Amino acid sequence: MKYLPLLISLLLCAMKVIAQDPGKISGTVLRDAKPADGITISLLRAKDSATVKLTATNKDGAYVFENLANGQYLISATAVGHQKAWSPVIKVSKEAAAVQAPSMSLAVLSKDLAAVTVTSKRPLVEQRIDRTIVNVEASITNIGTSALEVLEKAPGVTVDRDGNISLKGKDGVMIMVDGRPTQLSGPDLANLLRNMNSSQLDQLEIMTNPPAKYEAAGTAGIINIKTKKALTAGFNGSASIAYSQGTYPKTNEGFNFNYRNAKFNFFTNLSHNYQKRFQIMNIDRNILNDQDNSIMKIFNQVTTRISTGNAYNAKFGVDFFADKRTTFGAVVNLNARQMSSNNPNTTRISNSFKELETVTDAFVNTESDWKSINANLNFRRILDKKGKEITSDIDVVKHSTDNDLFMVNSYTDAAGRPINKADTLTGLLPQEIDVYSAKVDYLQPLGKDARFEAGLKTSIVRTDNNARYDSLQYGQVIPDLNRSNHFVYQENVNAAYLNLSTPLSKKISAQFGLRMENTNATGRQKTTVENFSRHYTQLFPTAYFQYKANDNNNFGANFGRRVRRPNYQSLNPFIRFLDRYTYS
């Protein structure tokens, strides 16, 4: 029976996968009676026209939306110079989880040449040889939202209920802000993105197979969030406030300010996010006999989770224009978030005949306090009129998290009589992540459309994760040595890359890259006085090909090699309990 908690935890993990929303809508878009490639497709809720997801059609004019909750939806297709096409209302239900939408045809807009006013607006989605670009301001539904909510709507991106991000169904996505890795994952990454107001965002760069310029870590790819910088002279600013009401309210406020003259550009972004979330989980599990797979125990668990959080973000920066070709810059980004969660839950345990044996009532409280500071110094020098340039960055990032746990379990028999004594578990997990990095990049145009890139980067990451758990037994606090652990990890990565992009003909373009990374990692487990070290060098080639059949259709293929490195928060993870039987 000593393996029972672990077995139940594994079963819960499996159930999380099974419990994903099964809904799926697929369809096609035609233009001039032919499949239309690269068309922006929006999925909207029928009841309020709120955007749920975005994607783009492939070379066959096909699109698909997956992991949809039951409900009624609308689909729109948008292309420059064409009327927006709409689907009828589409219903996803338990009985019809996979729905084929009617084909949509795009009609060319008619033009009145007597008086023409031409305005330029960036499309919502752009397709490049090595990435998909989402222009955040091109969708009105992004106003007053957070960066995490913007990501939820991006093509190929899925964000689950806990804020975990996947790209085309794969975990392990690296999230970058202005080309710099956040070095965060899970709840801490979700906190950072909830802190960022959409008014700060310019573009999302979604790279399922990133070029050699970027880190090789992240088997699912990279999402680079590019923030705004004002280009107009003088004072300008904006403010936004958003309020939404579900079971509980949610607010998002933001303020941006910028002053620019011939020599300086000063900018500030401030934002606040308040959110209260409510969740009910019903978990049914069968514990099977290892010999014949017969049912031994039946667990029925009902959990209510109420979490409340406040997030704050402040960004301050300055650019100094030494001359027309030289810019020095400095940026400081501050983030903080406090989150409190209360989880009362009841687990009813029955035998194989479904006869109730015991009931466990648990109350779990978790408090999380997360702070982050990111300081950057940057330099850019344009070397000639053809666009040759060199850039460099120095970054210092510090993340600090305090997670506190308090859990009480009480036990009764089928008649409601107390059995055993209530047990109490407390946990403290302070976590520190420090990142120091420096890089230099060189860009040289080669003729009209080709260009060569090269660069060097070095980074040092140090994490200190100290998990301390105590139990209260017979009125005494006793350290829980089975759960407690103190782990210190340091990683140094030195990298160099080359990248060449060039047209091969009028219709075919290509891009080739090679990245080398030298990794030196050491770890020390202070609790058991164990140490390890690893030193290795790896090569990561990339190649892209794109064929432009016409103005409306592109075909592409790519190849790349990547590596999966550990999430620094997962090296000594904080255990999240529902009760003594269920944790992750």
Could you write out the DSSP letters of every residue in 238-251?
A: EEEEEEEESSSEEE
The pLDDT, as a whole number, for residue 127 is 81
Who's near 476: CB < 8 A, 6+ residues apart?
A: none
The pLDDT, as a whole number, for residue 367 is 93
Query: Is pLDDT above 80 for 116?
Result: no
| Under 8 Å between Cβ of 438 and 392 | yes
Buried b (16+ CB within 10 A) or exposed e, 243-252: eeeeeeebeb
Please give the mean pLDDT across all residues of the chain: 85
Gap between the Cα atoms of 535 and 516, Å rounded: 14
Gap between the Cα atoms of 141 and 151, Å rounded: 12
Query: Is pLDDT above 80 for 552?
Result: no
> Which CATH fold topology does 1-110 show?
Immunoglobulin-like (2.60.40)
| 3-state SS assignment for residue 358 | strand
| Under 8 Å between Cβ of 124 and 138 | yes
* DSSP-assigned letters across all residues of 143-190: TT-BHHHHHHHSTTEEE-TT--EEETTBS-PEEEETTEE----HHHHH
| Under 8 Å between Cβ of 427 and 471 | no
Give the pLDDT mean for 12-21: 42
Who's near 46: CB < 8 A, 6+ residues apart?
A: 71, 72, 73, 74, 89
| Under 8 Å between Cβ of 539 and 497 | no
Residue 583 burial class via C-beta count within 10 angstroms: exposed 0-12, middle 13-18, buried 19 and up: middle
**pLDDT band, residue 111 (cuts 50/70/90):** low
User: Could you tell me the two tokens for 278?
Assistant: 């409510």
Instruction: Specify the length of the chain in residues.
Output: 584
| Under 8 Å between Cβ of 539 and 514 | yes
Query: Is pLDDT above 70 for 207?
Result: yes
| 3-state SS assignment for residue 362 | strand
**pLDDT band, residue 54 (cuts 50/70/90):** confident
Gap between the Cα atoms of 149 and 193, Å rounded: 9
The pLDDT, as a whole number, for residue 525 is 87
Q: Of 118-122, 246-250, 383-387, 520-524, which gets the smallest average pLDDT?
A: 118-122
- Which among 172, 163, 166 is positioned nearest to 154, based on CA atoms? 166
The pLDDT, as a whole number, for residue 6 is 40
Domain with CATH 2.60.40.10 in the chain: 1-110
User: Could you tell me the two tokens for 58?
Assistant: 């492939």
Between 579 and 400, the higher pLDDT residue: 400
Query: Is pLDDT above 90 for 189?
Result: no
Q: Of 154-163, 298-307, 329-338, which gets the smallest average pLDDT?
A: 154-163
CA 181 to chain centre: 12
| Residue 465, amino acid | N
**pLDDT band, residue 16 (cuts 50/70/90):** very low
Between 206 and 126, the higher pLDDT residue: 206
The pLDDT, as a whole number, for residue 5 is 45
Radius of gyration over every alpha carbon of the chain, rounded to an integer in angstroms: 27
Buried b (16+ CB within 10 A) or exposed e, 283-322: bebebeeeeeeeeebbbbbebebbbebebebbbebebebe
Torsion angle of C-alpha atoms 555, 559, 564, 568, degrees rounded to 10:
-50
**Phi, psi of 464, deg, nearest 5:** -135, 105
Query: Is pLDDT above 70 for 326?
Result: yes
| Placement of tokens 């125990």 in the chain | 297
- Which among 220, 174, 213, 131 is positioned nearest to 514, based on CA atoms? 213
Gap between the Cα atoms of 517 and 491, Å rounded: 12
Gap between the Cα atoms of 392 and 439, Å rounded: 6
User: Could you tell me the two tokens for 415?
Assistant: 């008649």
| pLDDT tens, residue by residue, 399-450 | 998 989 999 989 999 888 988 788 888 888 898 999 999 999 999 999 888 9
| Under 8 Å between Cβ of 388 and 366 | no
| Residue 216, amino acid | A
Gap between the Cα atoms of 416 and 432, Å rounded: 45
| Placement of tokens 């239900």 in the chain | 93
Between 176 and 79, the higher pLDDT residue: 176
Could you tell me the pTM of the whole model?
Answer: 0.74
User: Could you tell me the two tokens for 543?
Assistant: 């190649």
The pLDDT, as a whole number, for residue 9 is 44
Gap between the Cα atoms of 541 and 163, Å rounded: 31
Query: Is pLDDT above 90 for 236?
Result: no
